[in-house]
Structure 1
């Protein structure tokens, strides 16, 4: 049976270099040009294949084939078949405009990019026929020998040879924030991608040099394997898309049932001919389909995406706005999202004194303090000794970012933290390196876990400064510096230092130890050359100075964001490539979990069944040292539990989980293009707090969708009431409202106020509510009751009274109701006007569900006010423009009739305010009991 890729990589890592070269039929001279060409033909180019993209035409057409869009196409056909050509064309025009707008939004938000290719370098330096040459990275083949230098992107999975201080940033694969040292002998750390003599495609060399032999290229690399896993995942339908389909089916059933009822009533009660009854029923079906709903939803979602963009969240699909509001679980990585991704020194421990270091990240707005008081290192010899060591025993440069920029480092995060520490202490690094010129460096390696530099002081003596892991430091130290005095290092000292280190480690802090010694005249090194100054001769009889403790600090905003998630009943599951101790420390510190949380490592996760994992994610849990398949599996099991999952990520390793999640959230600053392509949302500030703001916006969008759904459906009852009257009177009362007048409400006067409702801000307390259940629907019993039994019924009574009021003024009941002419036009016009002015009150009432409108500001929503002004102006145009009068069967109203219309909204608004007051009091009483 063929071995899997991970097993092969491990075999390659363990193999003897000579045997491995023989296996790949290569050597130190590299491949010949002929052999390289043959292998290029066999294995293909070293590129990441993109999934075949659908044609733009298909993407465009999708915007016209949703269930609601199909309903509108059919409605247009029905209207034309019923003899209402203008109505049919108008409905189709709405569908076309909405589809084009939706496609434009989608196309503008998500442009296809070859992001995987961007992560690979353009050229690589290889040996061919014994000579170095630059070739395009696409031409690299298995068995090629190539060079690696600081700053290079690794072009293939490869075995390293002759590494010199080689460190590689593998965060795009592992999520681990600290660069990994690469060495020639086989060593295997924790988790996947942990072979220390293997480098992986898509990672970056941060320091050092090496030569390497390509083991796998293109889609066969670990990078390519993750890309394949990502592409194989099909994005599921967004909850809002499913809900709109459900709503469409509901509205279709309602409209058809009403149409059938009217058809039967027209035949058996009014005694209409079958043909005329059928056309009449078709008209009622069209009247009960809210043609303005789809464009209103689309525009409202677009407004939501614009508001979220101002909150640093860019959405690539309109429907994903609402998904955020339904989120129940956030699977979040740690580095850069919950933390700042900037290693910060926050404690210094010296045998005679302890210090706190204020300020976080790679900025110098901090101080060194002891017992809350600022410290001047010039007056603290022991502290000064440690700081000088940190300054000169350092190869990293840090360019401190401005207020709106991220600091840039050239080197390792650990040394960057030391650079910032010395700047906080006011040390001039350039002056110190001039005062203590470096003569030699003994670079860090994973065997001894130390780095030393040999310098010369002002007295001409050699000074050896060493930093590294505490265990390694204690093995080379036999003296200790305490309160300015050097004395022997005792066993009690060692035990105390180790206990201090353990205490800080439990808090998730990494420890770095410092030591030094001065080579005096009695030291054998004093008379020897630098060539004789080796690890064995230099790193011994050292003087222990102290410890520096560091961590990647949480973002300042994260604490409040986590509290908001708890208020909103949203669970956060940390999924990180970092160590279990660090992950637990950060999670408990920022309040994601309690100290009793279960921490599951990647190795433990491999042994768990799906059922065990499904049960584990129901409780407090952290996942550490995870691989790409792990994060994908965690998201999947959460979804099996019925959770709506948002997953964050920035690396290639996160892409499969981002695509699998209900909403994938990529980091815009540190995120790879791969992650951004797989995600639904991109955070432009990489800030977890922005996710919480986006969730609040998502909940607000859903609430607003319900508000304007209620608003739109409210007008359906008064639109249907005239036809009911017509049927119940067996045609004695002419239709008080024509079909074209109904269309005026659905596509004209209702549209702008409905859009205004879509811009409402969040009601107070919206984040104190739990996420809405998966089985809840936009059109629920509350909305049906309000639309048809409360708002709609009141509007129906008012508009019907208005119709009979005009006829009464013109002689009814003494004079029969006219089915045409000036009086009929005036009566239908005031009926239309009464519906519109009732909708004005409805627009104001729908702004809140329970709260008083006065609490959010009666005139705070300018778009609703503008929409109300426009609909009054539109009604006036229909009344007084002769051409429109003919099309819509309208006529002018007199002053008294206008006064009647303007009096309608006030009592309707106050009645609803009174109802909300009663509801609030009942709710408060229930909460008290």
Structure 2
């Protein structure tokens, strides 16, 4: 029931009100978490409990529940298991909720649904359309009517009514489309009740802590859940825009670990997000692929995305500030005119009615009355043009802001360049020296390099077709090997049947074990997925007939080289790497390591990647080429002609990015590129910035000049240079500059 009203203020100083409600428990709730800002530490979790018969105060604002914390006297965000939950507890404490406990949590968290409200025309009229301009317009029309000025008043009324009706219709239509897009199919979910008991439950009744079963042939996730058992192949394009299938692996079971679960950051690769499509699962024997629900409803990743659309942050653009100042200046001018007009008419002895009408009419002359209608009509026209391109907008006033863009940031791969990659060749290492480029990997001898290309990937078979990252797909296809997915195997429990790769020609099929006449098959036992922070992926494999397992790793050359034994790296590693990246190639490094024969299947499925991704042997480089899209260069030139700055943000090698930037005219031929490299402070030295010039020589190859290297950053007088130049900076250097050289950061950004 309603208790009272609470006044709310957000970061933009917008004011809201909400009803404070009471939730009464007859049997008592178990503990639940609230999001809490603590000044003394980084913990954000507080555990509250309700006694039998007690009441809980809460309110809902923008689909988020806030719970009264009796201990500190504040309302705090109701959280699921995504805040303050240890990773180890998912395996130890969550075996399935009982019916009573599940219903208690359902009362607390509410139904698991994302329902977009389609507001009535009356509500939209006051919230979306009416503004001070329309109030002023109404005042002007009334004033003109009193002065018998009917024709123009009628035109303004007609234009305004038509524009308001069109705006209301389009806004409500867009809200209906959004509602239909985010609506979830009311399906049933297989839920564990503990002790091996499972029950079908409507997806709207899921709560944090439920253990759900992921169907063998996939499903659309209706909540955020952490994977406990089995692997899932997921399409996350709804959230990321990337159509490449992603492999989700089980959360590692580390009983002694105090690591806190973070689904949006560290543990993203173990989390199934709401709205994403599970294409298929790889499961353990006769067991089920299970996951624990961590967030439901509007607290999920999809729910937060929808909330950001429904309740966008207040726009603080210079355009609106200037518009308000412009109207204020016009109003001041009108006041001067009104004062003069009032003086003249009083001096002439005009009637009071005439004085009032003529004095107020000055405002309607100075401030354009038709401006709101004209802007609304223009916005509706722009909205229809966007709709034809598949772009929908439920907040039409924000379209005006698009005309004020002054910078656009592009990704490189798949945006500026084609989605697909072509294999230029491989550069193997023999006796710590780079060999010549081998354009066809099938010409490589049977060995670790070829095995790494055939196994170190995240490809999977979906409906009989090989799917995965374009780079992995092109790399594997170049080996001319076969990939066989595992089937159901009931002979072993808790041990996944490995994916098998093998050569497809008879000559190499038996080459490795010619004496034993065993087929040359490699099973992928464990996969450590690629992460942007580690910039690498690796796999643990077992070759049929071998006495030990192997680890193959591929990723960023700099990262992989850091994991390799120094004696296995060629002395000209950096020179060769720079030579290929400066030509615009995408370079991937490959390394290998035979593992201890004592490593068992059971331990391999639980071992940490940091334990095995060390002391590797460097195998060589894979060189990929990625051509520009045909429309890239014309679009970049058009944006630059419109004085819109274009920036590239990519995870690729910096020299590769510079080469692509020159190819697409983002950096003109006469412009210089300065690579900014910052080093953090150490025990013996302070933080320092190095400047390196990336220039183009007569052979159209980039070279690096170190003339400014190792000098203090102040020696590069940015403001005094008259020639055009660009900065290229990596993430690590950007972080160092932001922390240790905040005064130079604005100059680097500009």
* Aligned counterpart for 1:67 among listed residues 126, 132, 156: 132
- The 1:154/1:255 distance shift into structure 2, 3 A limit, reads same
Contact 1:238 1:320 in 2 (8 A): no
The separation in 2 between residues aligned to 1:133 and 1:472, in whole angstroms, is 37
CA contact (8 A) 1:600 1:621 kept: no
1:79 Cα shift?
1.9
8 Å Cα contact 2:581/2:656 also seen in 1: no
The structure 2 residue matched to 1:396, chosen from 460, 467, 482, is 460
Which residue number corresponds to residue 235 of structure 1? 314
**Which residue in 2 is equivalent to 1:214?**
293
**Contact 2:585 2:623 survives alignment (8 Å):** no
Superposed counterparts of 1:208-607, under 5 Å: 208-209=282-283, 210-219=289-298, 221=300, 234-236=313-315, 245-254=324-333, 257-258=336-337, 261-262=340-341, 264-265=343-344, 268=347, 290-305=368-383, 316-330=394-408, 337=415, 345=423, 347-350=425-428, 353-354=436-437, 380=443, 390=454, 396=460, 411-413=467-469, 416-420=470-474, 452-453=500-501, 458=506, 461-465=518-522, 494-496=568-570, 499=573, 509=586, 511=588, 513=590, 548-549=622-623, 557-558=631-632, 561-562=635-636, 570-571=644-645, 586=657, 589-590=660-661, 594=673, 596-597=675-676
Contact 1:574 1:623 in 2 (8 A): no
Query: Is the Cα contact below 8 Å between 1:98 and 1:294 reproduced in 2?
Result: no
- Could you say what secondary structure the match of 2:230 adopts? strand
CA deviation after TM superposition for structure 1 residue 78, in Å: 1.7
**Structure 1 counterpart of 2:113:** 47
* Residue aligned with 2:521, SS: strand
Counterparts in 2 of 1:456 and 1:300: CA distance versus 1, 3 Å: closer
TM-score (norm 1): 0.44
For 1:141 and 1:40, locate their aligned partners in 2 and report how far apart those are by CA, in whole Å: 6
Change (3 A) 1:332 1:82: same
**CA deviation after TM superposition for structure 1 residue 199, in Å:** 1.8
- 1:337-365 per-residue CA deviation (whole Å, 9 max, x = no partner) reads 5566666655433455425xxxxxxxxxx
CA change 1:199–1:319 in 2 (3 A) is closer
Secondary structure of 2:178's aligned partner: coil
- Contact 1:267–1:277 (CA under 8 A) maintained in structure 2: yes
| Partner SS, residue 354 of structure 1 | coil
Q: 1:71 to 1:42 in 2, by over 3 A?
A: closer
- Are 1:19 and 2:59 counterparts? no
Secondary structure at 1:194 match in 2: coil
8 Å Cα contact 2:211/2:293 also seen in 1: yes
1:139 aligns with 2:195: no
SS of residue in 2 equivalent to 1:47? coil
The C-alpha deviation readout for 1:661-715, integer Å capped at 9, x for no partner, is: xxxxxxxxxxxxxxxxxxxxxxxxxxxxxxxxxxxxxxxxxxxxxxxxxxxxxxx
Deviation of the 1:596 alpha carbon: 2.7
Pick closer, same or farther for the CA change 1:574–1:152 going to 2, 3 Å: farther
Determine which structure has more spread, i.e. the larger CA radius of gyration. 1
CA contact (8 A) 1:144 1:213 kept: yes
Deviation at 1:463, TM superposition (A): 1.2
Alpha carbons of 1:437 and 1:137: their partners in 2 closer, same or farther (altered >3 Å)? Answer: closer
> What secondary structure does 1:453 align onto?
strand
d(CA) in 1 for partners of 2:403 and 2:90?
A: 55
Give per-residue Cα distances to partners, 1:5-58, cap 9 Å, x unaligned.
69965864542666323xxxx3xxx444454444434443333465x7754313
Mapped contact 2:568–2:618 kept (Cα < 8 A): no
- Corresponding position of 2:44: 4
Please, which moves more after superposition, 496-505 or 297-306? 496-505
Give distance in 1, aligned partners of 2:268 and 2:133: 56
Q: For 1:644-669, what per-residue CA distance to the aligned partner results, in whole angstroms no more than 9, with x for missing partners?
A: x9xxxxxxxxxxxxxxxxxxxxxxxx
Partner of 1:689: none
Deviation digits for residues 767-806 of structure 1, max 9, x if unmatched? xxx9xxxxxxxxxxxxxxxxxxxxxxxxxxxxxxxxxxxx
1:162 to 229, 240, 243: 229
User: Is the CA contact 2:174–2:393 (under 8 Å) kept in the aligned structure 1?
Assistant: yes
Q: Is the 8 A contact 2:227 2:272 kept in 1?
A: no
> 3-state SS of the aligned residue for 1:596?
strand
The equivalent of 1:778 in structure 2 is: none
- For residues 71 and 96 of structure 1, the distance between their equivalents in structure 2, rounded to whole angstroms, comes to 15
Q: Give the Cα separation in 2 of the matches to 1:317 and 1:622.
A: 36
Structure 1 CA distance for aligned equivalents of residues 421 and 184 of structure 2: 25
**Structure with greater contact order relative to length (CA < 8 Å, sep ≥ 6):** 1
- 2:271 paired with 1:199: yes
Q: Does structure 1 retain, via aligned residues, the 8 Å contact 2:502–2:521?
A: yes
Shift of 1:137: 1.9
Where does 1:611-622 land on structure 2 (aligned, <5 Å)? Answer: none
Q: How many residues align?
A: 532
**Contact 2:80 2:208 (8 Å CA) reproduced:** no
Matched-pair contact (CA < 8 Å) for 1:80–1:87: no
- The root-mean-square deviation of aligned C-alpha atoms, in Å, is 6.3
**Structure-2 change in CA distance of 1:255 and 1:133 (3 Å):** same
Q: Report the TM-score, using the length of structure 2 for normalisation.
A: 0.53
Cα deviation 1:794-825 (Å, max 9, x = unaligned): xxxxxxxxxxxxxxxxxxxxxxxxxxxxxxxx
Alpha carbons 1:439, 1:453 under 8 Å: kept: no
* Offset at residue 141 of structure 1 (A): 3.1
- Taking the aligned partners of 2:191 and 2:446, their CA distance within structure 1 comes to 47
Q: Secondary structure at the match of 2:142?
A: helix
- Cα gap change, 1:341/1:235 in structure 2, threshold over 3 Å: closer, same or farther? farther
- Structure 1 residue 185 corresponds to structure 2 residue 258: no
Structure 1 residues 451 and 586: CA distance shift in structure 2, 3 A: farther
- Aligned residues of 1:347 and 1:354 also touching (Cα < 8 A): yes
Give the superposition deviation at 1:600.
Answer: 12
Q: How far has the Cα of 1:59 moved from its partner? A: 1.8
